[in-house]
Amino acid sequence: MLPRFPAVTRSLSLAALLIAGPAAALELPLPPPGEDIVGQVHVIKAKYEDTFADIGTANDLGYLEMIAANPGVDPWLPGAGTEIILPTRFVLPPGPREGIVINLAEYRMYYFPKGESVVYTFPLGIGREGWGSPIANTRITAKTPNPTWTPPASIRKEHAEDGDILPTVVPAGPDNPLGPFKFTLGVPGYLIHGSNKKFGIGMRTSHGCFRMFNNNVLELSKMVPVGTPVRIINEPYKFGISAGKVYLEAHTPLDDQGNPSVVDKHTAVINALLKREDLANNLRMNWDMVRDVVAAEDGMPVEIAVPVENQGAAPMVTSIPPELQ
């Protein structure tokens, strides 16, 4: 039986992390050619007053990914001494490792700076019900510090129905929902920007734009030039190789409107595997583990297979079992 949980690194407490304030971006070295996994899972012990929002802000993690990695733990009062898993190990998104890649299903951005062997990754808030974020290939078309906000008529109407009358223009400052910086995308009407709210990063809370922690968007603004390609995908199941083993990372699937999907999850994970032509027909697969990972949706890479050529034996399973078809 393959191990269910990856190795973790333990820290004594969250206190040392919080002393320095919000964390900088997770900067991780790229893996060797042919490999796909970066980072390491950590475990900390919470203090009495900690919440998942505090822990996420301090460690560049979104709210929902903290909940997924820590089932059964109260996100508002974990309790002093409670061990909290920080899901800071990632299978890199499929496709070219260039520019910005946003994966809606994991509420996360990856930035691959040109000519560097590192990746930066940030949690994101994405479009909520009725305001889904787009799936697209686009670019950064403009960068604007201290932006003003001109709410579109649709948003002004929505707020007015709740008795909140928005001005035609919101000036730059602490009350501006775009925060201290915005990136304009080539998809009309969509931005990557900061926020005037601490809560909502790593959730479905926006009107379709991509929200970041303010310290993150300011850090990104120093690294990303105009013209940078941006690829927006929706991949809940990511397969990756590390040290000769195959891993699966599973998230809750989202539909085209950004809501949890009722898609057949087993079919979806098989389709994701079939896209990896280098893996699909050459694995010693543990299908019981695959089922467990798909059911857990905890966002952490778990070993599920070994390539046949790496272990010198006939494949355990070379075809999809009937119950997963």
pLDDT digits (tens, 9 = 90+) for 153-197: 666 666 565 666 666 667 778 878 899 999 999 998 889 999 887
- The pLDDT value recorded for residue 164 is 65
Residues 267, 123 share a domain: no
The residues pairing with 140 across neighbouring beta strands, listed in sequence order, are 185
Report how far residue 181's alpha carbon sits from residue 138's, in angstroms, rounded to the nearest whole number: 19
Q: pLDDT at position 277, please?
A: 79
Q: Are residues 119 and 243 in the same domain?
A: no
If asked whether residues 201 and 254 sit together in one domain, one would say no
Print the domain residue range for 290.
Answer: 237-307
In the block, residue with structure tokens 């007015």: 160
- 105 and 36 within one domain: yes
Q: Which of 20-24, 269-273, 310-314 has the highest mean pLDDT?
A: 269-273
pLDDT at 113: 97
pLDDT of 25 strictly over 80: no
Q: Are residues 182 and 208 in the same domain?
A: yes
Is 92:240 a contact under the CB 8 Å cutoff? yes
Looking at residue 197, what is its pLDDT? 79
Residue 51 has pLDDT above 50, yes or no: yes
The residue out of 212, 233, 254 marking a domain boundary is 233
166 against 304, higher pLDDT:
304
The pLDDT-based confidence of 152 (bands split at 50, 70, 90) is low
Strand partners, 287: none
Distance CA 210, CA 101 (A): 12
How many folded domains does the chain comprise?
2
Q: What is the mean pLDDT of residues 92-99?
A: 96
What is the pLDDT at residue 265?
87
Tell me how many degrees the CA angle 45-51-54 measures, rounded to the nearest 5. 95
What average pLDDT score do residues 274-283 get? 76
Same domain? For 245 and 228 the reply is no
Measured CA to CA, the distance from residue 110 to residue 204 in angstroms comes to: 18
Residue 63 located in a structural domain = no
Q: Residue 53: inside a domain, yes or no?
A: no
Q: Is there a domain that residue 61 lies in?
A: no
**CA–CA separation, 209 and 281 (whole Å):** 39
112 assigned to some structural domain: yes
The residue annotated as part of the active site, out of 207, 209, 251, 266, is: 209
Out of 193, 207, 251, 266, the active site residue is 193
Q: Does some domain include residue 31?
A: yes
Determine, yes or no, domain membership for 323.
no
Both 36 and 124 in one domain: the answer is yes
pLDDT of residue 258: 61
* H helix intervals, the chain: 15-19, 52-59, 63-69, 153-161, 214-223, 265-275, 287-296
Is 193 known to be catalytic? Answer: yes
Task: Choose the weakest-confidence range: 18-32, 106-120, 201-215.
Answer: 18-32
From 235-244, 252-261, 286-295, the region with the lowest mean pLDDT: 252-261
> What is the model's pLDDT at position 317?
42
The 10s digit of each residue's pLDDT in 110-142 is 999 999 999 999 999 987 554 467 789 999 999
Active-site residue, 207 included: no
Q: Cα–Cα distance between 126 and 81 in angstroms, integer?
A: 32
Residue 20 structure tokens: 């320095």
Q: Identify the domain boundary among 181, 203, 233.
A: 233
DSSP H/E element including 183 = strand 181-185
Q: Looking at the structure, do residues 268 and 223 belong to the same domain, yes or no?
A: no
